[in-house]
Amino acid sequence: MSQIFVNTLISASFFIVIGLALSLIYRAVKFFDMSLAGIFVAGPYCMLFFYNSLCIPLFFALIFSCLLSSIIYYVIYFAIYKRFEHNAHSPLSLLLASFGIYIILQNVISIIFGDRIMTIRNIHIQEGILLGGAMLTPIQLIAILYSIIFVFIVLIIMHKTKYGLCLRTIGENFPLAQSLGVSVKKTIVITYLTVGIFVSLLGIIYAYDVDIVPTMGMNIIMMGIIVMIIGGNGIMKIIIAGIILSLAINLGAWYIGSEWKEVIAFAILLFYLLMQPRASHKAVN
């Protein structure tokens, strides 16, 4: 039983980080950027290259991987999304395009590294800690801590820096955001680079816990999307949503089998969207 609790914490950590990352990007560019899934996968594969193949020391390999992934993410933004002004393309088209970009990224990784499941863990098996009857491996503990640290960093940046203020205003009031003394363009760039680093790092942590396969990005991102939709706009709400989703999935997996995890998650999403009060149309100015 306590294993469920521990598993809940672990999955919640991943969901919350991804959900927060997605919501930051959403604030910046006002659409759900699916290509982030590709960055999540790019992180560990870069590690595979830098650390496992080139045998660069761990610390530097981490930095290179995260930087490279983040730069790739920025390049995607620069080459594709940025070309089109905020208002020319609807969020729907950008969302679809981001799916396309994810497909490209994932298949490029497949071509370079192959489709098989790979491991980037070192040979020694990770010894788990016993925590009140439940197993918790060191990397899983790192994941939980990472999510807590990430939440704090996001809170600080959003509320204490001018970039955070700008980011918060872009969604609400674009002209106001432009007059805040910080370039909106710069804010978006910084958001992309930062999110790229954190998400690729999350991917690396995930890969150390579970083996990697090129197609794993989409699943995680969808959990992040569910968390974002159910959670809404606030950081606290996303955290709560992440925990609830994770709890539901892990409880459900315990009772009806872990192969149904995705179904549970999406059933929750469907249920949530079905229960929405009738949205009044935007005829209101």
Site string for other proteins, 224-263 (x = CB under 8 A): -x---x---------------------------x-xx-xx
218 binds other proteins (CB under 8 A): yes
Cβ-in-10-Å burial (0-12, 13-18, 19+) of 118 comes to middle
116 binds other proteins (CB under 8 A): no
Give strand pairing partners of 136.
129
* Contact assessment for residue 40 and residue 217, using Cβ atoms and an 8 Å cutoff: yes
Binding test (CB under 8 A) with other proteins, winner from 60, 78, 84, 174:
84
124 binds other proteins (CB under 8 A): no
5 binds other proteins (CB under 8 A): no
Q: What is the CA radius of gyration of the chain?
A: 19
Residue closer to other proteins (CB basis): 34 or 136: 34
What minimum distance in Å lies between the beta carbon of 220 and other proteins? 13
**171: its two tokens:** 């969604």
91 binds other proteins (CB under 8 A): yes
Binding test (CB under 8 A) with other proteins, winner from 54, 58, 111, 176:
111
Per the listing, tokens 């560019």 go with 29
Binding to other proteins, residues 12-71 (CB under 8 A): 31-32
- What are the φ/ψ torsions at residue 135 (nearest 5 degrees)? -90, 135
What minimum distance in Å lies between the beta carbon of 114 and other proteins? 8
* Contact assessment for residue 65 and residue 78, using Cβ atoms and an 8 Å cutoff: no
* Residue whose C-alpha is closest to residue 201's, from 65, 30, 51, 32: 65
* Residue whose C-alpha is closest to residue 137's, from 149, 124, 126, 121: 126
186 binds other proteins (CB under 8 A): no
Q: Which residues contact 255 (CB under 8 A, 6 or more apart)?
A: none
Residues of this chain that interact with other proteins (CB under 8 A) are 31-32, 80, 83-84, 87-93, 95-97, 99-104, 106-108, 110-111, 115, 218, 222, 225, 229, 257, 259-260, 262-263, 266-267, 269-270, 273-274, 276-285
